[in-house]
Amino acid sequence: MTPFGTRLAEAIDARGRFCVGIDPHAGLLHDWGLADDVASLERFALTVVEAVAPVVSVVKPQSAFYERFGSRGVAVLERVIAESRDAGALVLLDVKRGDIGSTSQAYADAYLDPSSPLASDAVTASPYLGFGSLDPMVEACRQHGGGLFVLALTSNKEGPEVQHARTDGTTVAGTVLGHLRALNAGAEPVGSFGAVVGATIGQTAEDLDINGPFLVPGYGAQGGTTADLTRIFGTAARWALPSSSREVLQAGPDVTALRDAARRGNDAVQELGA
């Protein structure tokens, strides 16, 4: 199967680099005049898919907002994944899984094996049980052409106490980025193993030249700007996927308004890393 990095590069060329989060949290359901129940979850999520999946390169459903409704919520997530991919968008499933051994393998089977109803183009993962704990996901990506976005420099204020900690003179974040750089060595046009780096982290001394993509949360309503992205990533911004949910989703429930908001977001980041 074609590597995720290759498919992502093609998607960026065709549709831009803006990533829309499909995050049906209770506040947004309320803002749309919907109840906090499964029927409303389905209406919200599939309306967003209809609006944005045909025009953006990547959509990012956050699994937790579906899981909280139990099996019926997960069934909605399965439809979001399938219908987004049918519309031509890559699906980056935000699950932030991280475990060891057979459990890590089970996560890989759940989210990266094409035979699974939750199979996505890429997933987010946590490396804090040791980067080697992600080996089953890495191998699944290699086997099935999937992508992995590993937490490295996140926007949350608690992140630095772990990510900036040093071992043998290297920060934890630097170690994670080093592993990703090794996985992506020699890949063209870009590797399939990316990092999650927040748009609001400020300056960083870390080497972000990993020959891989970046998922960049914290953009838009959470405070991150295109100037921040240029400052943080430099020329590596070419492979940055600025991700926004609230700024787009608050335009709903009108499909045209949602689509227009997604297009505006895409236009705003079109020249990054050019």
Chain center to CA of 204: 21
Tell me how far CA of residue 167 lies from CA of 13, 153, 162, 174, 204, in angstroms.
Answer: 39, 16, 11, 10, 18
Tokens of residue 225, six digits = 């700007």
- DSSP line for 168-185: TTEEHHHHHHHHHHHHTT
Catalytic residue among 25, 79, 96, 263: 96
C-alpha Rg value of the chain to the nearest Å: 17
Strand partners, 122: 92, 147
- Among residues 250, 230, 173, 169, the alpha carbon closest in space to that of 207 is found at 173
- Among residues 190, 264, 200, 263, the alpha carbon closest in space to that of 232 is found at 200
Strand partners, 117: none
CA distance 148 to 180: 10
Respond yes or no: is residue 96 known to be catalytic. yes
CA distance 229 to 272: 8
- Among residues 244, 178, 245, the alpha carbon closest in space to that of 212 is found at 178
- Tell me 220's DSSP state: G
The residues carrying an active-site annotation are 96
